[in-house]
Amino acid sequence: MSEHDRELKRLRKAIDAIDDQLMDLIRQRAHLAARVGECKQSRNEAHFYVPSREAAIIRRLLQRHAEMADREHRTRIPDEALHGIFREIIGACLALEHPMRIAYLGPEGTFTHAAA
């Protein structure tokens, strides 16, 4: 095995370890989000989704990313990509806070009531 192959294997192993850490952290976040949902239910809060909270989280993370990238001067993931990643994580965790219910009213005689 060449030095290049060994380095590639080492780098991939490090990436795999980081992916494992990310998975663990996402699961921890999901657990906390479910607990937030329980707290909201116990207080009979009607609004589970608070857009301003999501926007504040993403703004804070993008600001942190910009500050870190300014120091590192090497790798900067595009803000749009990070925004999408965190929207997905937040959305998945929000679904744990309060299961989504969707209503659809179809044309008369299409058994819409059965679809609900």
**DSSP letters along 42-80, please?**
HTT-S----HHHHHHHHHHHHHHHHHHHHHH-S----HH
Question: CB burial class (10 A; 0-12, 13-18, 19+) of residue 36?
Answer: middle
Is the pLDDT confidence value at 116 over 60? no
Pick the CATH number of 3-115 from 1.10.760.10, 2.60.120.10, 3.40.630.40, 1.20.59.10: 1.20.59.10
d(CA 50, CA 61): 17
pLDDT at 35: 92
Residues 24-71 pLDDT 10s: 999 999 999 999 989 888 888 767 788 999 999 999 999 999 888 777
Question: Looking at this protein, which amino acid is placed at residue 39?
Answer: C
- pLDDT higher than 70, residue 19: yes
Positive or negative: CA dihedral 105, 87, 16, 9 = positive
Backbone angles phi, psi at 47, to 5 degrees: -105, 105
